Amino acid sequence: MATTERIERQRTRSSIDAGEIERGAGVTLWRQIEQAIEADIVAGRAAAGSRLPTEAELAASFRVNRHTVRRAMEELERRGLVRVEQGRGSFVAEDVVDYRVGPRTRFSEVIARGNRHPSGQVLRIAEVPAFDAAASGLRIRKGRPLWLIERLGLADGRPVAFGMHHFPQARFPTLPEAVAAQGGSLTRALAACGLGEYTRLSTRVTARLPTPQEADHLRQARNRPVIVAENVNVDPDGVPVEYGIGLYPSGRVQLVFEF
């Protein structure tokens, strides 16, 4: 464990005092634990982004069972004070990222505008047949070959978007090679394939629970909803060039539509 991370955890542990729990006080134990952790967050003793003690550590500190601690953490997460990353633990929530959606939406530009460092990782490139929604959005026949590019977008090292981008293979036959040559940048890869500019035609927003794989990619709890943005991008002539599905962790991102 890195030195700074160890210091953060020690600082957080020392600020959570088991003496704040009063049995028989008329307030449930889990609610008192929730209030104690919230007080540390509000006072700045548990800094934004810092890792909180594990359930076992909190249970030992407050002298309660882990189920009681888990109930308190679930409530803190529901209120947006704490975020849970699968396999990594619980963290004090940072400021919510404003993801601005407009006619020209580019991930790196959007994140940089919020004074955050953008980065990304291509997780998978595959050939898939056009399914109903993709075929309709791209105005092609169902079953026509598409390139599927799954990409994870990060802001200051935190996952804030998981994108599933679909492109007509006939229009971009060398797109996988271009993505590799351009270091995973879809904008530069499309430019290398002859598409210098494209704009957003439509965006449809819904919400649902993530699949286990999606939750792992976004490092969030599986019982917390994700924002789903289904979009179609077109070239300067209005011809659809991309059907995309973007997933955003609801505790870390809010979509802001600009017209």
Burial profile 70-107: b = 16 or more Cβ within 10 angstroms, e = fewer: ebbbbbbbeeebbbbbeeeebbbbbeebebbbeeebeb
Helices and strands of the chain, counted as H and E runs: 9, 10
Given the candidates 3.40.50.1010, 3.40.1410.10, 3.30.540.10, 3.20.20.70, the CATH classification of the domain at 97-257 is 3.40.1410.10
pLDDT of residue 8: 43
**Predicted confidence (pLDDT) per residue in 97-115, tens digit:** 899 998 988 999 999 988 8
- pLDDT the model gives residue 33: 92
Other CB atoms within a 10 A radius of the CB of residue 174 amount to: 14
Locate the domains of the chain by residue range: 3-92, 97-257
In words, the CATH class of domain 3-92 is mainly alpha
Cα–Cα dist 178/114, whole Å? 28
Distance (Å, whole) CA 103 – CA 185: 19
The pairing of beta strand 253-257 with beta strand 97-101 = parallel
Write down the pTM of the prediction: 0.72
pLDDT recorded at residue 245: 98
pLDDT of residue 143: 98
Give the span between the Cα atoms of 202 and 131, in whole angstroms. Answer: 18
Residues β-bridged to residue 136: none
The reported pLDDT for the residue numbered 17 is 52
pLDDT at 24: 67
Give CA–CA dist 12/47, Å, rounded.
Answer: 8
b/e code 228-251 from CB counts within 10 Å (16+ = b): bbbbbbbbeeeebbbbbbbbbbbb
Q: What is residue 18's predicted lDDT score, i.e. its pLDDT?
A: 45
Residues of the chain with confidence (pLDDT) below 70: 1-20, 24-25
Q: What is the pLDDT of residue 114?
A: 83
Query: What local confidence, expressed as pLDDT, does residue 158 receive?
Result: 85
Residue-level pLDDT at 48: 80
